Each structure stands twice: as C-alpha cells, then as structure tokens.
Amino acid sequence: MDWFYIKGILILSGINLMAVLGLSLLTGFTGLFSFGHAGFMALGAYATAVMTVKFGIPFIPALLVGGLTAALASLFIGRLTLNLKGDYFCIATLGFGEAIRLILDNIQYFGGARGWPGIPQETTLLKVVILNIIAIIILKNLIRSRHGRNMIAIREEELASKIVGIDVFRYKMISLLISAFYAGIAGGMLGHYATFLQPKMFSLVKSTELTIIVIFGGLGSITGSVLGAVVLTALPELLRAFAQWRLVVYGAAVIFIMISRPEGLMGGKELSFMTIKSVLRYTKPWRKIGAFTEGRRQGRL
C-alpha cells in the first residue's frame, strides 16, 4: 500500500467523480435517466487527445474543448430524445452510447478498436482535485439557484411544473448539456491518465457504473455523489485479492442497497459547514446549560 497506489486510486475516484457530478445533476436533480454517459466521456476523451496529441494544445484548454465537444453532441441528442418518456429515454441514450463506441471502433485515424496509445500523462492528483472542487462549487450554486429549483420541480412532478410555467424541455436540455460537459472533461482526464484510449473503455458497463455510483451516494445529493465515487472506486481496488468475486459481490450489493436503503447513502441530504457546526454545537460536552434554553426559545429543540 504505497503512496503511488493510493494516489492512483484517488485520481481514478476523482475522474469518476467528475462524470458522476454531471450525472447527478441529470438523474438526481432533474430525474432523467441516462445510460449513454460513457458515450459523452468517449467524445470528451478523444477530442481532448486530438487537441493535445495532434495539435499540441496545452492540457487544460484541450480539456475544455473535450467538454465542449460532448456538450455539442448532447445538444444534438437532447433535441432528438428529451421529449421521450421514461424507458424510451433510457433506451435511446443507451443506443446513443453504444453507437458512439461503435463509430469510434471504425475510425482508423484514432486507432479503431485496437486503441490509441502514446497519449501524454497530464492528469495529476492536484489538477483532478482542483477541477473537481471548481465543478462542485459550480454545481452547488446552480442547484441553489432558481434554475436548479426548476430542475428539482421537474423531477418531482413534470406535469405540475409545466402548468406553473416552467419550460420543461429547456431545463432538461440545460441539465443534459451541463452533465455532458462534465462527462466530457472526465473522459479527457481519463485518457490523459491512462495514456491510452480504446472504445471498449466506454462501454455500457461504464455508464452503468456511473449510474450505480449516483444511486449509491443518494439521488439529489452532491455530498452523496462524492462519497459514492470515492467508496465505489476504491472498493473494487481494495478487494483485488478476491479478483473474480468482487464484481459478483458488487452486483449483489447493488440489489441489496435497492431493496434495503433505496435512498442511498445521503439521499437528498447535504453535508455542509452549517450542519457540521450545528452537530458540533449540540454534541459539545462542555456546552453551557444556557445553550439548551437558548435553543429552546428559538424553537430549535
């Protein structure tokens, strides 16, 4: 268990977290279920790699290009599919994700199905952490804004939100666009961490994994997504000794979570500095008696 190994796990968690944050906005806050996010990741990964390898653009601007490519694709795919209901949307995004993978399989410019080696390793732990913090801050502010509340309203009751005058299609589109942007950036970071790209890396399994992380962390909770991404990326690594059985356990655990605690780890709750402060305040062993009556007067206890 040396630092190099732990660092690797942390970087992978951070990359997953970036994609999961976007998916959390889409699934957890807007209530749309996408199985095509690996497709957006693939687009971001290949676009970023083209920028750095073929055009020699520095890593961070290239990442932005990757994110924008995925976002552009989401505009196109959202236009076509966002009017679909429930399972139809799921299956449409699933088809989109697989189509992207199969298209990349056939483009010889990117090495086709054999893969594309020799991408420079640019993703460091520091960059991953900083990018994730920026992503979390943007996401948090978005969700607390009017737009975020509209998205949550759509999740809760689409018809009612339409009646009170929310442009449902537009907000679904914004949500898909931002989540695709995040997924594209995550893909770009993945490519420049693995130094190798192959369409196989972005199969349906990857989309499923991201969705499971969102659910495991809890729908509608950013804190949950962070916890979920770290725990579920680290867990299979720590279970390496089992190798073959770990994914069996993983599958069983997913079913178990669904039937026992479907709201996930955090389920709609957030861990903020305020909650930490209030928890500390009421568990302080040295707190004065007066704090109790003070709280009582304010109607808190």
Partner 1 sequence: MTQLIQQLINGLSIGSVYALMAVGYSLVYSIMNFSNFAHGGVIMLGSYFGFFLLTLFKLPFTAAFLGAALGAAVVAVIIERVAYSPLRARNAPFLYFIISAMGASIFLENFVIATIGPTFKTYPPVFPKEPFRFGPLFVGRLDMMMFLISVVCLAALVYFIDFTKTGKAIRATAYNMRASVLMGINTDMVIIIVFGIGGALAGIAGVLFGMKYTVYPQMGFITLKSFIAAVFGGLGSLPGAVIGSILLGVIETLTSGYISSQLRDLISFSLLIIILVIRPMGLMGRITEEKA
Shortest Å distance, C-beta 115 to partner 1? 16
Residue number with CB closer to partner 1 (60 or 205): 205
Residue 285 structure tokens: 């062993």
Q: Which of 75, 80, 134, 137 binds partner 1 (CB under 8 A)?
A: 80
H-assigned helices in the chain:
3-23, 37-49, 59-81, 86-106, 125-144, 146-156, 158-163, 168-194, 204-217, 222-238, 246-260, 273-283, 289-297
CB count, 10 Å around CB of 53? 17
Helix axes 125-144, 222-238, angle to 10 degrees: 150
CA 283, distance to chain mean position in Å, is 34
- Residue closer to partner 1, measured from CB, 159 or 289: 159
With vertex at residue 95, the alpha carbon angle to CA 256 and CA 66, rounded to the nearest 5 degrees, is 95
Q: Quick one: which segment of 13-21, 140-148, 210-218, 272-280 binds partner 1 (CB under 8 A)?
A: 210-218
* C-beta of residue 213 within 8 angstroms of C-beta of residue 16: yes
Q: What are phi and psi of 116, to 5 degrees?
A: -130, 100
Sole window of 167-175, 209-217, 270-278, 289-297 interacting with partner 1 (rule: CB under 8 A): 209-217
Q: Is 108 in the site for partner 1 (CB under 8 A)?
A: no
Query: Which stretch, 52-60, 169-177, 203-211, 283-291, contacts partner 1 (CB under 8 A)?
Result: 203-211
- The C-alpha atoms of residue 27 and residue 151 are separated, in whole angstroms, by 10
239 scored as a contact of partner 1 (CB under 8 A) = no
Among 262, 276, 287, 292, binds partner 1 (CB under 8 A): 262
198 binds partner 1 (CB under 8 A): no
Give CA–CA dist 9/11, Å, rounded. 5
Of the candidate residues 6, 60, 75, 103, the single one contacting partner 1 (CB under 8 A): 103
Return the residue of 164, 241, 255, 289 that touches partner 1, per CB under 8 A.
255
105 contacts partner 1 (rule: CB under 8 A) = yes
CA geometry: angle 293, 299, 300, nearest 5 deg: 80
Is residue 153 involved in binding partner 1 (CB under 8 A)? no
Among 91, 125, 234, 235, binds partner 1 (CB under 8 A): 91
Cβ pair 38, 206 in contact under 8 A: yes
85 vs 240, beta carbon nearer partner 1: 85
Residue with tokens 């991201």: 210
Q: Which is nearer to partner 1, 261 or 277 (CB)?
A: 261
Which spans of this chain sit near partner 1 (rule: CB under 8 A)?
Answer: 27, 33, 77, 80-81, 83-88, 90-92, 94-96, 98-99, 102-103, 105-106, 159, 163, 204, 208, 211-212, 215, 219, 244-245, 247-248, 250-255, 258-259, 262
